[in-house]
């Protein structure tokens, strides 16, 4: 039996640290499914593991792509499954870690099949977005698919446009097409969630943002400003600083917006991950040995 130890939870909860401890305990590799840590131009703002952490275990899918590449969740699913097939040839365990629920689901369940959408629908949605702004996408998506609206990144126009296109083009909610396809997998997932009181999560997020600023996030974001319209950069921590660089808001306000939007993101992550009843949740301070024992004793 092959086991994919999958660590989920909100941002800044300690998933990276736990993943390394588990990888060392089971002498196995780590696959990252953080959809922004793929990009080599985005290091500080995506909390890429440190050099010391990366040296603690063999990692895959960390800074392996460029923001200029068109890299989709479907592409990731194919590459991740191929890498897992390779790793499971020599080990019964692999650790997967990340906060991107869509990417976790793609590996565990398979990427969903969506209907072909007429190009005219796409053009209409794009045109309305350009004229009316992101509020148009948010309002329409909430009306047509409140379930998906609850968990989608509401600051990500590309993701909302895609969902709205499917809603309009098919006449059905985007969420109705999710999790229908049951791909067979050659592994058994062991789902581990890390959680804490909301006040603790928010404090950890605020501290992490301050650390990012001190480590040079402004310099990193300034270098990316000419490419701010790329999909990869529709990301908390960069969007807010782009507004600062363009004179829309003060630096102090931008930093507070990063903290606020990251807290909102963490709330959506928990909503997404809590839907899976097979996840075993641990307090983030739980002794690592207890989690290691849970994995060792895991039975289907």
49 known member of a binding site:
no
HSE-CB of 61 using CA atoms within 13 angstroms: 25
Strand order of the β-sheet with 188-195 is 59-60, 30-32, 93-97, 3-8, 188-195, 280-283
Helical H segments across 56-196, by residue range = 73-87, 101-109, 119-132, 134-144, 146-151, 157-170
11 known member of a binding site:
yes
Burial (CB count within 10 angstroms: exposed 0-12, middle 13-18, buried 19+), residue 250: exposed
> Rg of the chain over CA atoms, in angstroms?
19
44 known member of a binding site:
no
237 known member of a binding site:
no
262 known member of a binding site:
no
Helix (H, G, I), strand (E, B) or coil at 253: helix
146 known member of a binding site:
no
23 known member of a binding site:
no
15 known member of a binding site:
yes
Closest CA to 270 of 198, 177, 168: 198
User: Residues annotated in the binding site for substrate, as ranges?
Assistant: 11-16
User: Residues annotated in the binding site for ATP, as ranges?
Assistant: 9-16
User: Residues annotated in the binding site, as ranges?
Assistant: 9-16
């Amino acid at each position: 039996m092959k086991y994919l130890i999958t660590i989920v939870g909100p941002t800044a909860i300690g998933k990276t640290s736990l993943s390394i401890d588990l990888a060392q305990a089971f002498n196995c590799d780590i696959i990252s499914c953080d959809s922004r840590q793929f990009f080599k131009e985005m290091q500080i703002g995506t909390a890429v593991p440190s050099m010391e952490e990366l040296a603690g275990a063999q990692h895959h899918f960390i800074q392996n792509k460029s923001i200029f590449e068109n890299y989709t969740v479907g592409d990731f699913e194919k590459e991740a499954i191929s890498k897992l097939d390779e790793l499971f040839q020599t080990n019964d365990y692999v650790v997967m870690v990340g906060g991107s629920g869509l990417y976790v689901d793609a590996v565990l369940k398979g990427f969903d099949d969506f209907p072909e959408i007429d190009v005219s629908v796409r053009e209409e949605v794009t045109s309305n977005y350009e004229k009316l702004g992101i509020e148009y996408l948010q309002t329409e998506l909430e009306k047509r698919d409140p379930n998906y609206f609850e968990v989608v990144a509401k600051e990500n126009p590309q993701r909302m446009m895609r969902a709205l296109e499917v809603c309009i083009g098919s006449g059905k909610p985007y969420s109705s097409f999710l999790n229908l396809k049951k791909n067979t997998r050659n592994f058994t997932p062991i789902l581990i969630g890390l959680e804490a009181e909301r006040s603790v999560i928010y404090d950890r997020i605020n501290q992490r943002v301050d650390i990012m600023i001190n480590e040079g996030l402004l310099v990193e974001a300034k270098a990316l400003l000419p490419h701010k319209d790329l999909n990869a950069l529709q990301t908390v921590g960069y969007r807010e600083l782009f507004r600062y660089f363009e004179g829309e808001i003060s630096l102090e306000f931008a930093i507070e917006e990063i903290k606020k939007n990251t807290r909102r993101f963490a709330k959506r992550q928990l909503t997404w991950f809590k839907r899976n009843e097979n996840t075993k949740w641990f307090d983030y301070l739980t002794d690592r040995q207890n989690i290691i024992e849970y994995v060792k004793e895991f039975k289907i």
